[in-house]
Amino acid sequence: MSTTVIKNGTVVTADLTYKADVLIEGGKIVEIGLGLRGDEELDATGCYVMPGGIDPHTHLEMPFMGTYSSDDFESGTRAALAGGTTMVVDFALPNQGESLLDALKRWDNKATRANTDYSFHMAVTWWGEQVFNDMETVVKEKGINTFKHFLAYKGALMVNDDELFASFSRLAELGATPLVHAENGDVVAELSARLLAEGNTGPEAHAYSRPSQVEGEATNRAIMIADMAGAPLYVVHVSCEESHEAIRRARMQGKRVWGEPLIQHLTLDESEYFNQDWDHAARRVMSPPFRNKKHQDSLWAGLQSGSLSVVATDHCAFTTEQKRYGVGDFTKIPNGTGGLEDRMPMLWTNGVATGRLTMNEFVAVTSTNIAKILNCYPQKGAILVGADADIVVWDPEKEKTISAVGQQSSIDYNVFEGHKVKGLPRFTLSRGHVAIHDGEVRTREGHGQFVAREPNATVNKALSKWKALTAPQPVQRTGIPATGV
Ligand code: DUC
Ligand code: ZN
Ligand code: ZN
Ligand code: ZN
């Protein structure tokens, strides 16, 4: 079998920084050391050799708000590789009444085109005996241990608290982890109706309809419900201090709660919606919306202190034409922004180069922590002998100005347009295949494989006192009044 060696670089992992060559054979790392030789040599002089990024949150070719997100598993994972990301985790979304297994088949089919390895979270979009039963098969036979719940999108994807508690309880039983999109969907629906009635139809009203309190409330509620169900909890796209605060508090109390900010919320703010032309603002409509500087500072502080664990994109790309479905009614603007190609360079530039994050922390929040939480470490997220050779050779001196021109994503704009980044991949390897070679795209459609993830044994049960304190104890009473006399 032919071998590839990455030579003369500095290996950077979540723990360590050291000079070493990395030898790859059969898609795996087989040796790490000095003076290694291989059939193919990749020169990493001046570069950092890091675990490829994992994006735990993408929506590729997703049916949503009357259309489909425009990047599919081919263009989306090509964009990922160009930006140093070597694995994506997408959401399989069952229709109302559809079995989880049928939904999964549809996502399996879409993903056959992937250029990177991938996994799925299963979404719980309705509740019933079928979902309850399917969950066991999904966890035990399909290699999926994470289930997403939407507290927003009333009348479509939203689940109510009774369903949430039932689902979380079932997942706790199965050793699976619930994920939550935490926004109070009832309040959002009410605020949206009021804004429209007052004639606020433009994209900025989207931001007004989803203030940070709707996120704070829902995050707190989801944490409490998870605690009562004895389940851990992963909160997706944490965008504000209220939500971060709830997560911080939960973690200090010993609850297994993880928070995931997005690169968009870390680097773009609400000014993108105001005093901007319609297209500019609508292209940036996503849920939760961009926030002010105070919230951004909170998210950065969370990454620094470890109260927030990972950085994702929620990549859900719509063209300008699709965004224009919402002219005259902001509630019809498809929600979503792209970021797969830009997450790593934007985080490096705004995080590592500014001194907010160390290189090791960068690896942790873009890759290793994600692999650990989702339970695919050290197959993914590691530079270790035996790990998959999903590797990015990172050139800290390489610069560009982000632009839709020349990007891999199939949409016609980029929300980071004009942002300068310094720190980009020289090579990106997907299970040993050199998919990005010094700016040249050599991706292979269909190269990606599904990554199965076992359930986790680590649930909240041992940490939360709630169950022990309130476990029902039948009370022995005397003097019960006679009835039916
Ligand atoms: N938010 C978005 O902006 N798009 C996809 C789904 C979501 O929750
Ligand atoms: Zn969401
Ligand atoms: Zn999402
Ligand atoms: Zn290959």
- Give the ipTM of the model, two decimals please: 0.92
Confidence (pLDDT) at 472: 64
Residue with tokens 């708000």: 65
Q: Confidence class of residue 457 from pLDDT cuts 50, 70 and 90?
A: low
- Residue 62: CB within 6 Å of ligand 1? no
For ligand 1, pick from 181, 209, 335, 337 the residue to mutate: most ligand atoms within 8 Å of CB: 335
| Of 72, 67, 337, 93, the residue nearest 206 (C-alpha) | 337
Residues 245-291 have pLDDT tens digits of 999 999 999 999 999 999 999 999 999 999 889 999 999 999 999 99
pLDDT at 461: 55
Asked if residue 460 has pLDDT above 90, the reply is no
What is the spatial distance between Cα 7 and Cα 34, in angstroms, rounded to a whole number? 8
Spatial distance between the Cα atoms of 287 and 481, rounded to a whole number of angstroms: 56
314 lines ligand 1 (CB under 6 A): yes
Structural tokens at position 178: 């619930």
User: What is this structure's pTM?
Assistant: 0.96
How many angstroms is it from 340 CA to the middle of ligand 2? 16
In tens, the pLDDT along 393-440 reads 999 999 999 999 999 999 999 999 999 999 999 999 999 999 999 999
**Is there a contact between 450 and 109 (Cβ–Cβ < 8 Å)?**
no
Confidence of residue 42 (pLDDT cuts 50, 70, 90): very high
Tell how far the Cα of 119 is from the centroid of ligand 4, in angstroms: 18
CB atoms within 10 A of CB 235: 28
Q: Compute, in angstroms, the gap from residue 216 CA to the centroid of ligand 3.
A: 17
DSSP structure string for 201-231: -STHHHHHTS-HHHHHHHHHHHHHHHHHHT-
| Ramachandran class of 308: left when φ > 0, alpha when ψ lies in -120 to 50, beta otherwise | beta
With residue 388 as reference, give the H or E element that holds it.
none
Residues with CB under 5 A from ligand 2 (ion): 181
> Do 66 and 329 meet the contact criterion of CB atoms below 8 Å apart?
no
Predicted confidence (pLDDT) per residue in 321-363, tens digit: 999 999 999 999 999 999 999 999 999 999 999 999 999 999 9
Q: Mind giving me the DSSP string for 389-425?
A: --EEEEEEEEEEE--STT-SSSSS--TTTT-EEEEEE
> What ligand is nearest to the CA atom of residue 27?
4
Q: Which atom of ligand 1 is nearest to the CA of 59?
A: 5
Residue 181 in contact with ligand 1 by CB distance below 6 A: yes
pLDDT-derived band at 133, boundaries 50, 70, 90: very high
Distance 288 CA to ligand 1 centre (A): 7
Predicted confidence at residue 37, as pLDDT, reads 98
pLDDT at 471 over 70: no
Which of 359, 443, 366, 437 has the alpha carbon at shortest distance from 6? 437
Question: What number is the average pLDDT over the span 449-477?
Answer: 68
Model confidence at 468, pLDDT cuts 50, 70, 90, reads: very low
Among all bound ligands, the one having the nearest atom to the CA of 287 is: 1
Give the list of residues 6+ apart from residue 30 with CB closer than 8 angstroms, or none.
3, 23, 24, 385
Average pLDDT over the chain, rounded to whole? 95
Task: Name the residue with the closest Cα to ligand 1, atom 7.
Answer: 287
Q: How many CB atoms lie within 10 A of CB 76?
A: 34
